[in-house]
Structure 1
Amino acid sequence: MDALTAAAVLFGAFFVLLFAGVPISVSLGAASLVTALVFLPAGDSLYVIGQQMHVGIESFSLLAIPLFVFAGNIMNNGGIARRLVDFALVLAGRVPGALAHTNVLGNMLFGSLSGSAVASAAAIGSTLHARQEEEGYDPAFGASVNIASASTGLLIPPTTAAIVYSSVAGGVSVSALFMAGYVPGVLMGVVIMAIAYVFARRQRYPKTGGVTPAEGLRVFLEAIPGLLLIVIVVGGIVFGVFTATEGAGVAVLYTLVLSLVYRSMSWTAFKEVVTRTVVATGVVMFLIGASAGMSWVMSYAGIPATITDALLSVTDSKVVVLLLMLLVLLVVGTFMDITPAILVFTPIFLPIATELGMDPVHFGMVLILAMCLGTMTPPVGSVLFVATGVSGVSIERVVPRLMPYFLGVILLLLAVTFIPALSLGLPGMMGLLE
C-alpha cells in the first residue's frame, strides 16, 4: 500500500469515528490500529500499537503535565485568582471599560500560572461576572472578552501546550518555547484589550476609579506571592536551575503552601482538586499515548514525507504554503481541542515548516496560537462553552460579539507567522535557540 492510500485509511477512519461521537483518544487509537492491520499481521499490529502507546507516555518530561494541572487546580480553589483579579483591577481601573480590561489582564496572569484556558475562563469569569452586571455591562460583551482572552495563558508560560508540543516535536527545548510564548501571548492580550476599548468607549462603560496609594500597595502585596510563582518556575527552568518537570513540582509545593497560608482550601476541596487532576491527567495521557501510535503508523507508511512533497509541489511560494497550513489549522481548531490537535498535526506539518526554513520553536508558537482560536469557536470550543455557562449567556448571543476578537487574533497569527522575531527574538537573546 502506498502512503496516500495509508493516509486515506488512517484519516478516513479517524474522522468517521470522530463525527460518530467516539472520543478523540479512542478514535486515534482505533484508526492507527486499522491502518497498521493493512501493513502487518493482526498480532504484530496489536503489539506494535500497544508498545508505541506505552513508549509515548514513558517520558520524564511529560510528568510536568499532571503537576502543572494539579498546581492550576489548587490555584483555582486557593484564593489566588481573586487576588490576581484585584491586582489587575488596580492596573486597569482608570480606563473606560475597566472591568473588561481587568478580565483580560486577569486571564493573562492566572492563565500563565494555571496553564489552562478553561480554568482561567471559569475562575476569572465567575469572579468578575456579578460585578460587571452591577455596573451595567452587557453580559454578552463581558463573556466575549472573557472567551477571547482566556487562551492567552496557553502562550504565556508556564504552559502545558508547549510541553506537549516539545514531546511530539522531537525534544524541542521547553525553555525556548516558554520564552517564545511571551511576546505573542502579551500581544494577543493587547489586541483584545484594544478591541474591547473601542466597544467600551462606544457603550460608555465606566471606569472603576483609582485607588489610594495605600490600597494599591495592599493589593500589590497580596498579589506578589502568586506573581512570584511565575518568576520562580519560569526563571528556574530557563536558567537551568531545574527541569520543566521539577519546576512543575515546585509549582505544586508552592501553591499548596500558599493555600495553607491563605487558609482558603478545606480538606474536602483538596480531595476534589486531586480527583479533577487525576481525571484530567488520565484524559491527556491517553491522548498522548494514542497519538504516539498514530505517529508511528504515519512514519512507517511515509505519510508526513508524502504530504510534504505533495504540498510543496503545488506551489513554490513559501507564503502560499504557510497560508494553506494556517487555513487547515484554523479549520481543525473548530472541532478539535488544542492537545489532540498538537499531537496529530505536529508530525504532519513540522516537516513542511522545517523544509521551508522555519525554526521548530517558531512553528510551535504558530501552531499553538492557531489552536487558541479554536477554543473560542463552535462547535467544540471548550472555553466558549465554559465562559457562556459562567455568564449565563447563550452561545447565539456571544458568537457575533466574538467576531472582532477572532479577526484581530487572526491578524496577529499572520504577523507571528511571517515575522519570526516576534517568537524567536526573546529566546534568541537569551541564547536558548540551537
Structure 2
Amino acid sequence: MFLKGLNRSGREWFSSLPACLLLLAVVLFSTSSDIHNQMLRGGEQLFGGYYKLRTDPVRPECDPTRDIDAAVAAELAAEADADDPLADLLGSVDKDPAEVRRSVERSVADCQRSHASYVSLQGQLTPALRAYRAVELFVADVIAFGLESQRYILVILVMLCAVSATLTRHHIAMRAMETRLDYRVSFGLQALANAMLLGSSVIFRQSSLAAEVTMASDALLLHNLWVAGFAALTLASLYRLMRIPDDLAAGGQLNQALLAVPLYTVMCLISGSYFALIGHASGIGIYLGKMMELADMFLNVGLYVWVGMMLKQTRLATLVFNVFRPWRLPPEMLAVVAVLVAAVPTAYTGASGIFVIAAGAVIYSELRAAGARRQLALAATAMSGSLGVVLRPCLLVVVIAYLNREVTTDELFGWGIWVFVLTAAMFSLVALSVNRQGRFELAPASTALPATIRALGSLLPYALVITAVVVFYRFALDVTMDEFSAPRLLPVIMLAILLYEHFSLRRKEDGSCGELNHQGLERSVRSATNDTTAEIGALLLLLGLSVSIGGVIERSHVMAAFPQSFDSAWSAMLLMVVILVVLGMIMDAFGAVILVTATVATIAYGSGIHPVHFWMVTLVAFELGYLSPPVALNHLLTRQVVGEAEVAAAQREGGTFYQRHERIIMPLVAMGLSLLLVAFVPLLFYA
C-alpha cells in the first residue's frame, strides 16, 4: 500500500509507514488470539484428543510385561533384607503379601494403559494432523510474541509519533504559534523538557542496572528504547528551534508566547523540577515506565485515534447528516442532533478528546454548512464527545472497572445510560431555550420524509458492511462486539468501509456519476495514518506526562491534607466534585483515572458514597473539566482540528456577552447542571 511510487515524503516513509505497520501488528496480534481459540476447538472436533496431540507423545519407560509374581517376591525379599536401625526401637511391621500384590498389579495395569495410550496417540499422528498442529503452534507462537512485544510496540509508537508531532508542530498547546517569539519560546522549552525526559530516563536506566545484578534482556531493551526515543525527540526539538519558519510574524509578547508552549512540556517541566528538588531525578522515567503496566490500554487509545482518522476519510458522517438535512432543522436543533448522534461513536473511540480529534472537523463543517453560528458550531464540536463516555463500550469505563474491584463494567454501563439521558436532556434544554435565536420552522413532512428515506438508503450499504464484519467475527471467531473486542474490530470495520468506498465510488466515477474527489483506498489509508501519527504523538505524550503529574500529586501527599473520610456524604461529595473538576482541567482522562483510583476514591468510599455513584460523578466531572478554562482541553482539540482562523473569526463576532462567548458558556452550563444533578440527587435516596 505504502510502497506505491517513489515520491512519498520523508514523513510518510519514516513515520507514517512504521506507525501503520505497528498498528496493524497490534490488530493482528489481538486477532490471532481469537483465531487460536477457534483452532484449538476445531482441532478437538477434527482430531479427538487434540489437546494431547499438540506435542509428540513420549513412550513410557515402565515395563508393561513385568512378571507380577517375581515383582512381589522381590519386594518382600527386599523388606526382609532391609537393615533398619530404628526397627528394634519402633518395632517392625511386616508388609501384607496380598497388599503388595495388589500394589504391583495396579502399577502394571497403569503401565499397560500408558503404553496403550501411547500407541493410540501414535496412530493418530497423521500427516493431516501434523500439518494442522504446525499451523496452530505457529499461531500460538505469534500470540506469545505479540504479548511480549506490546510494551516495545507502545514505546516505539509513542516516540515515533512524538517526533512526528514535534517536527510538524502538532503538539497540544493553549494557543498556536503566531510570532517568532512564540516559536523560540515554545521550542526552546520543548528542547529543555525533552532533555529533562532524556536525563531522567538515563538516570532511571543506570539506577536499575545498579540495583539488579543481572537485568533481564527485555527490561534493558525497554530502557534503551526510552533513552533512544527521548534522544531523538530532543534532537527533533533542537532542529526545529534552529529552523524558524518564514511565515511567522516578527516580534511578539512573552506572556502570549508562554501560552504557545505544549501542555506536555509544561507538565514535564513541573514534574521534572519537583522530582529534581526532592532528589528523585529518575521520577519522570519511573512514572512513564508505569505506562507499560497498561500497555494494552494505551495501544487501544492509538487504535481508536487511527479509527477516527479513517472515519474522517469516509463519507459516513456526511451521509448521516444528510438524513436530517431535508428537515431544514434550525442550527440549535441540528447542534443537539449532532451531539446526540456523536455519543455512539464516542463510546467506541474511548474518550471525548479522541472523538473530537477524529470527527470534530466534520461536525463543525456540517453545522456551518447548515447555517450554524461559529460560536454555536464550536460549542457543539467541543462537546460532541462529552455525552458518550458513559455508554458501552467506552474504553475509559473499562479502565475504571479494571483498576477498581468495587465496580463492574455492567454496573457502570447500566447507570451510564441514565446519566447519558440526563446530560442529553440538559444540553437539549440549554441549546433549544437559552441559545435559540429564531423560530423553529421545520420543512413539511411530505417533502422531508421521502428525502430522509433516500438518505437512509445511502447508509444501508455501510450498515451491511459493518454487519458483515461483526457477523464474521461472531461466527468464525466466536467474538462478539463489546467493550473488550471493540479496539480490534473497529479498525477492521473501517478498513472494510474504505474498501467498499474504493470500489463503489470508483464504479460511479467510471459511470460519470460524480464523487470525483474520492481518493481511493491507498490514499485514504495513507492520509488517515499521516493524521494519526501526529495525533497519537500529541495525545499519548500528554497522557504519559499526566501520569507523571499524578505522581507529583501522589508523592507530595497533597491528599493527606484532606480527611480520609467524612461524617457526611454530602460534604464529601462537595469536595469530590471540586477536586474531580480541577483534575479534569489539568489532566488527561486515563491519567486522571489512575490518580483518582489511588487517592480520591478511597476517601469517597470511606465517606459512604456508593462506588458506582462516585465513578458516574467522576466521568461527568472530568467532562466538565475538559470544557472549563483555563485549559479546556476539548476546546484546544477543537481549535486544532477546525483551524486557528475559524476560532479567531468566531471571537470577532459581535452580539451579547453570551453570544460572544457561547462556545465556552453553553457547554459549561449544560455539563454543570448535569454534574450537580448526578452528584447530589442520588444522595437523597441512600445517604
Where in structure 2 are the equivalents of 1:410-425 lying within 5 Å? 410-419=672-681
Q: What are the superposed Cα offsets for residues 323-345 of structure 1, whole Å, 9 maximum, x if unpaired? A: 12212333454455545544544
Give the helix-richer structure, 1 or 2: 1
Tell me the secondary structure at the aligned position of residue 203 of structure 1. coil
Q: Which residue of 1 aligns with 2:313?
A: 77
Tell me the secondary structure at the aligned position of residue 563 of structure 2. helix
User: How much does 1:211 deviate?
Assistant: 1.4
Cα distance change, pair 245–69 in 1 and its aligned pair in 2 (3 A): farther
Equivalent-residue separation in structure 2 for 1:281 and 1:32 (angstroms): 22
Cα distance change, pair 292–217 in 1 and its aligned pair in 2 (3 A): closer
Q: Which residue of 1 aligns with 2:301?
A: 65
Equivalent-residue separation in structure 2 for 1:338 and 1:208 (angstroms): 41
Q: Which residue of 2 aligns with 1:309?
A: 563
Contact 1:62 1:167 survives alignment (8 Å): no
Equivalent-residue separation in structure 1 for 2:465 and 2:268 (angstroms): 39
Cα distance change, pair 282–177 in 1 and its aligned pair in 2 (3 A): farther
Equivalent of 1:128 in 354, 367, 370? 367
Equivalent-residue separation in structure 1 for 2:276 and 2:329 (angstroms): 64
Q: Which residue of 2 aligns with 1:10?
A: none
User: How much does 1:252 deviate?
Assistant: 0.7
Cα distance change, pair 262–351 in 1 and its aligned pair in 2 (3 A): same
User: How much does 1:27 deviate?
Assistant: 5.0
RMSD over equivalenced CA pairs, Å: 4.2
Contact 1:71 1:255 survives alignment (8 Å): yes
Cα distance change, pair 395–37 in 1 and its aligned pair in 2 (3 A): same
Cα distance change, pair 102–49 in 1 and its aligned pair in 2 (3 A): closer
The one-letter code sitting in structure 1 at the alignment partner of 2:299 is L
Q: Which residue of 1 aligns with 2:535?
A: 280
Contact 2:568 2:607 survives alignment (8 Å): no
Equivalent of 1:254 in 475, 487, 493? 493
Contact 1:108 1:150 survives alignment (8 Å): yes
Where in structure 2 are the equivalents of 1:371-390 lying within 5 Å? 371-385=622-636, 387=638, 389=642
Equivalent-residue separation in structure 2 for 1:378 and 1:240 (angstroms): 42
Report the TM-score, using the length of structure 1 for normalisation: 0.71
User: How much does 1:352 deviate?
Assistant: 1.6
User: How much does 1:294 deviate?
Assistant: 5.3
User: How much does 1:412 deviate?
Assistant: 1.3
Q: Which residue of 1 aligns with 2:449?
A: 211
Cα distance change, pair 413–370 in 1 and its aligned pair in 2 (3 A): same
Contact 2:576 2:604 survives alignment (8 Å): no
Q: Which residue of 2 aligns with 1:268?
A: 523
Contact 2:462 2:497 survives alignment (8 Å): no
Cα distance change, pair 227–173 in 1 and its aligned pair in 2 (3 A): farther
Q: Which residue of 2 aligns with 1:321?
A: 572
User: How much does 1:86 deviate?
Assistant: 2.9
Equivalent-residue separation in structure 1 for 2:386 and 2:526 (angstroms): 27
Equivalent-residue separation in structure 2 for 1:376 and 1:365 (angstroms): 17
User: How much does 1:253 deviate?
Assistant: 0.6
Contact 2:314 2:498 survives alignment (8 Å): yes
Where in structure 2 are the equivalents of 1:158-177 lying within 5 Å? 158-163=393-398, 165=400, 173-174=408-409, 176-177=411-412
User: How much does 1:249 deviate?
Assistant: 0.9
The total of aligned residue pairs comes to 387
Gaps (5+ residues) in structure 1? 1-18, 422-434
1:50 equivalenced with 2:285 (yes/no):
yes
Equivalent-residue separation in structure 2 for 1:177 and 1:250 (angstroms): 22
The one-letter code sitting in structure 1 at the alignment partner of 2:364 is G
User: How much does 1:367 deviate?
Assistant: 1.9
Where in structure 2 are the equivalents of 1:13-412 lying within 5 Å? 23-28=262-267, 31-32=270-271, 35=274, 46=282, 50-59=285-294, 60-87=296-323, 98-115=333-350, 116-118=354-356, 119-132=358-371, 137-163=372-398, 165=400, 173-174=408-409, 176-199=411-434, 203-209=438-444, 210-212=448-450, 214-215=453-454, 217-218=456-457, 221=460, 224=463, 241=480, 244=483, 246-263=485-502, 266=520, 267-293=522-548, 304=559, 306-309=560-563, 312=565, 316-334=567-585, 336-385=587-636, 387=638, 389=642, 393-395=649-651, 397-400=659-662, 402-412=664-674
Tell me the secondary structure at the aligned position of residue 391 of structure 2. coil
Equivalent-residue separation in structure 2 for 1:226 and 1:373 (angstroms): 36
- Segment of structure 1 superposing worse, 315-324 or 29-38: 29-38
Gaps (5+ residues) in structure 2? 1-257, 503-517, 653-658
Equivalent-residue separation in structure 2 for 1:49 and 1:28 (angstroms): 10
Q: What are the superposed Cα offsets for residues 203-249 of structure 1, whole Å, 9 maximum, x if unpaired? A: 114324431274265256356358869998xx99xx98477454201
Contact 1:57 1:288 survives alignment (8 Å): no
Q: Which has the higher contact order (CA 8 A, sep 6+)?
A: 1
Q: Which residue of 1 aligns with 2:221?
A: none
Cα distance change, pair 292–204 in 1 and its aligned pair in 2 (3 A): closer
Equivalent-residue separation in structure 2 for 1:231 and 1:206 (angstroms): 40
User: How much does 1:128 deviate?
Assistant: 2.7
Contact 1:62 1:245 survives alignment (8 Å): no
User: How much does 1:24 deviate?
Assistant: 4.3
Tell me the secondary structure at the aligned position of residue 101 of structure 1. helix
